[in-house]
Amino acid sequence: MPRLKHKAVQYRRKREGKTDYKTRLKQALSGKIRLVTRISLKNVYAQLVEFHADGDKVLLSASTSELKKKYGWKGASRNTPSAYLVGFLVGIKAKTKNLKEAILDIGLKSAIKGSLPYAVLKGALDAGLNIPHSKEILPTEARIKGEHIKSQNFKEVKANLEKGVKQ
């Protein structure tokens, strides 16, 4: 009986379900800086990444753990308000490095309207970054401010961020 042949997937990261190479190629060919958002089980991460042939270079980054340590965030680390503040922090840091535009990279996450990667996007937009997007995908202001969850110190932390990034 002949054996069935399995189609071998060439790239390890594609086999492991970690990289979509078609999307990655489009982003690399655009020549623009990427706003990379990643959501773990406990934290939200955002980075501005520049493509280079010898490997991507991270220009700056922010996470919810940084919000807690440096800016006094007392809320949960993986919700819409914290994701918004991470995006806002990345946008402010980008302004200090004179970066003005980027494209959004949500990786293999599903593009769900109002989800955490889009809260990061909204924060970066409000801080002044120019990122192409559709208005319908952004979370509502009530969700960004955390009106759907217990009271947090959202206003205090955003005011701290607007005053300036602590170095």
Greatest mean pLDDT among 15-19, 85-89, 106-110 lies in: 85-89
- Percent helix, strand, coil in the chain (nearest 5)? 40, 15, 45
Closest CA to 62 of 53, 54, 73: 73
Greatest mean pLDDT among 8-22, 25-39, 89-103 lies in: 89-103
Kindly report the average pLDDT of the chain as a whole number. 88
pLDDT of residue 23: 83
d(Cα 143, Cα 10) in Å, to the nearest integer? 42
The Cβ of residue 49 has, within 10 Å, a number of other Cβ atoms equal to 18
State phi, psi for 7 to the nearest 5 degrees. -75, 120
Where does the pLDDT of residue 167 fall: very low under 50, low under 70, confident under 90, or very high at 90 and above? very low
pLDDT of residue 132: 93
Question: Average pLDDT in the 34-61 region?
Answer: 93
Q: Look at the alpha carbons of 11, 109, 35, 132 in this order and tell me if their dihedral is positive or negative.
A: positive
Where does the pLDDT of residue 110 fall: very low under 50, low under 70, confident under 90, or very high at 90 and above? confident
pTM: 0.83
2.60.40.10, 3.40.630.30, 3.30.420.100, 3.60.15.10: CATH of 15-163: 3.30.420.100
CB burial of residue 7 (10 Å; 0-12, 13-18, 19+): exposed
d(Cα 75, Cα 137) in Å, to the nearest integer? 24
Domain layout of the chain by residue ranges: 15-163
